[in-house]
Amino acid sequence: MTVNFFCMISKQKFLFFFLFFFFLMPISGKESIILNDSWMFCKTNQPDFYQMEFNDTSWENILLPHTWNALDGQDGGNDYYRGIGCYRKHIVIPLNYKGKVIYLKFGAANSFATVYLNGQLVGSHTGGYSAFMFDITDKILFDQENIIAVQVDNSSSIICPPLSADFTFYGGLTRNVELVVANPVHINPNEYISNDLTMGGIWVAQPGVIIKQTNVSENSADINILTKLRNTTLKTTSVLVEAVLKDSAGKVIKTFSDTKKILANDTSNSIITGKIDHPHLWNGIYDPYLYKVEIMLKVNGEIVDNSLQPLGFRYFNVDPNNGFSLNGKPYPLRGICLHEGKKDKGRAISDADRKEAIDLLRETGCNYLRLAHYQHGDYTYRYLDSLGIICWAEIPNVNSVGRSLEENKIYRKNAVSQMYELLRQQYNHPSIIFWGLSNEIYFKASVDPLETVRQLNKVVKSEDTYRFTTLAAMYPEKPA
């Protein structure tokens, strides 16, 4: 559920209060509260900007999404401002949210973000194109003014992909910011991943539901539904997980279920498997048929969280002689690379802007898009699903992977993090057929990029054995 609110302004300072029209209504799942208006912004480094008593009344009052390079970054030159910008927002969070779990989510912040709440460090994030979030429950002042303060830095970097590219690195909070309010037991939207590939561990924001499909044909399809669970209570809790498959009209086709016990203050996974007979296939632009899967968590018979995810059954192949096929039939791909951006807006665009760009490309006959060269906003993938446009989704592993092995080690960790974010955040979209590992990396550079590419390929294959991995290159072939 998305909540709208308006702002009230006092004579002394800006104070922003939520107005909830459903104030006394029972809450069955997460609520998303968009925080896009009335941010204070300053395009310079202010060392004490995160302190609660800092005076921001002289700063610019702006709306999100926002970039400070909307004008100086659009002329094709390389002389646009790359540095620090500071943001502050004043909010009051109502008392009826006490006892909930509250996350602060950023759609994207390019390239480095450091987040504070009420003068306390919340966390940081590296990478300018993927969503990230923090559990801020223990730092909130309920029924009082709270100060969110964010430092964003798009300075030239030697450790964060991309190091260089022929597109503008627009600095700022370039997508939505929102509060996500959950019940104490909920689908986990923020998971810590620690393995050899992450080199120490990373936090990854995600829907918390991964739907895998295998053995797809006109006759049947197998599905595997992974739901990530979190219990923040002080006792072991039994959870009923229901997965309801609905057709495009909303009619229930099949219901699956699983029961899990989650230890106190712990996480767990639910895995549901099933078979669908005679699935209506997602057939590209000719018939982009979409099912929906609603995941519901129930504790003592009460729905405590739910999630609605797309599902499009399809099978595909690539052959060196016959090209791409979809659902067993030739399906020539005709398309282009698409960047996020619009005149005088840079990458701080709306979903309406995204729709307009895709509609124009569809008019030209595109049935395929490579989303260059980074993760795009969520709406783009949803809209491509609905139109039946095949998608190549990728991370900004562009040109160089570092000047030394020491630099490359940190770079590779950040590239792996962005790949996990892309996979977990966009996995369920049927339009995505290809995961892009890199674009035009320098094979003659001081650091051989192939080990980085191999690591990224391992990440993808550890998460998704169904789709293809690919890359774009303009240099001599090398063995994988």
pLDDT tens by residue, 317-369: 999 999 999 999 999 999 999 999 999 999 999 999 999 999 999 999 999 99
Quick one: average pLDDT of 11-29? 38
The CATH superfamily holding the domain 332-472 is Glycosidases (3.20.20.80)
Which of the residue ranges 5-19, 214-228, 270-284, 409-423 would you say has the lowest mean pLDDT? 5-19
Superfamily of domain 209-311: Immunoglobulins (2.60.40.10)
Tens of pLDDT along 405-437? 899 999 999 999 999 999 999 999 999 999 999
**Has residue 15 got a pLDDT over 90?**
no
Average pLDDT for the chain: 93
- At 113 the pLDDT is 98
pLDDT digits (tens, 9 = 90+) for 51-93: 999 999 999 999 999 999 999 999 877 899 999 999 999 999 9
Per-residue pLDDT tens digits for 104-137: 999 999 999 999 999 999 999 999 999 999 999 9
Q: Residue 339's pLDDT is what? A: 98
Q: What residues are annotated to the active site?
A: 440
Report whether the peptide linkage leading into residue 130 is cis, meaning its omega lies within 30 degrees of zero: no
CB atoms under 10 Å from CB of 332, counted, come to 9
Look at 8 and 365; give whichever has higher pLDDT: 365
What integer pLDDT is reported at residue 433 of this predicted model? 99
Q: What pLDDT is attached to residue 445?
A: 66
Q: What is the pLDDT of residues 199-253, one digit of tens each?
A: 889 999 999 999 999 999 999 999 999 999 999 999 999 999 999 999 999 999 9
User: Is residue 296 within 8 Å of residue 259, measured between CB atoms?
Assistant: no
Q: Residue 403's pLDDT band (boundaries 50, 70, 90)?
A: confident
Quote the pTM value.
0.93
Q: What is the pLDDT of residues 160-204, one digit of tens each?
A: 999 999 999 999 999 999 999 999 999 999 999 999 989 889 999
**17-26, 29-38, 205-214, 306-315: least confidently modelled range:** 17-26
pLDDT at 20 over 50: no
Domain ranges in the chain are 2-182, 209-311, 332-472
Tell me whether the omega of the peptide bond preceding residue 279 falls within 30 degrees of 0, making it cis.
no
First to last CA, the chain: 45
Nearest to 342 by CA among 69, 40, 112: 69
Q: Per-residue confidence at 477, pLDDT binned at 50, 70, 90?
A: low
Calculate the dihedral angle through the C-alpha atoms of 330, 335, 337, 339, rounding to the nearest 10 degrees.
-120
Average pLDDT (276-296) is: 99
- Do residues 420 and 126 make contact, with C-beta atoms less than 8 angstroms apart? no
2-182, superfamily in CATH? Galactose-binding domain-like (2.60.120.260)
What share of the chain has pLDDT > 90, as a percent?
A: 86
At 1 the pLDDT is 54
- Whether 86 contacts 113, CB under 8 Å: no
**How far is it, in rounded angstroms, from Cα 46 to Cα 150?**
11
